[in-house]
Amino acid sequence: MSGLRGDAATDFGALRKRYPSVFAPQIVQRWPILAVGLLMALLFVYGLWRLEFSFMRMWTGLAQLGRFATLMLPPIAQSWPQALTFARALAETVSIALLGTLMAALLAFPMGFLAARNATINRVVQFMSRRFLDTIRGVDTLIWALIWVNVVGLGPFAGVLAIMTADAGAFGKLFSETIEAADRKPVDGVVASGGSRLQAIRFGLLPQVLPVMLGQVLYFFESNTRSATIIGIVGAGGIGLHLSEQIRTLEWQGVSLIVLMILAAVALIDVVSGQLRFAIIGERSRNA
């Protein structure tokens, strides 16, 4: 034996003595990870038992699901005017999602900087904006929809407000985390050449975080198109209302048509936002 392997072999005993922790059995080295893993597994099993999770019931339910599926075929509307109504309502849902997401992003943009450790004004402001974001995030979109419907009345306006309030909280958190994960070095560069704090944020941080934020906004737009159908059910406009009506009147073919239309809209948004995101990231790498 020669080379490093030989060196290691002749020195094996001494190395073992000098670095006992490296050669300790795996169970000793990793007991914290193993303990946490075991605890999680126990919690998981306890949860399944406590919530009466039953494979039997899932299996019997599956047959029921199959019966519904056959009732849903073929997915057609009862009449052309109804199909047109669905299409209009879907357009309304998409615009609720777009408007709500954009307004949420605009609101969250300054909040994100205030809540980020490396861009905030001082610790108090950071703490307050964090707690504020937590609070509005603690209430789900659906609850906000119910609240806004009571405040501004039924219709899409309440839907837009619901998405805006709920997602401003989510965006605020995501934005601030993105800002905190940004590289410090460009900021140092701006500060070192005599830039103010605001200028350091504008030129050191913003170019780094903007493409990531745009990606997050695009994803939320897509996700909100789905959420907007649910808030429609509580009367905040859009296709959700028609969906719940079709379910209530057991018009399963209409239900499947609406579901397919939503699916198509979401897929389309996904394709477009993918292209947009790529364009933005491509732009960034070209400038770098």
Binding residues for other proteins (CB under 8 A): 3-5, 7-9, 11-12, 15-16, 18-19, 21-23, 26
Whole-angstrom distance, CA of residue 195 vs CA of residue 189: 9
CB atoms within 10 A of CB 83: 15
- Residues in the chain, how many? 288
Give Cβ neighbours of residue 148 (< 8 Å, ≥ 6 apart). 157, 158, 159, 161, 162, 165, 236
Cβ(73)–Cβ(256) under 8 Å? yes
H or E segment at 112? helix 80-115
Cβ(269)–Cβ(225) under 8 Å? yes
In the block, tokens 């419907």 appear at 149
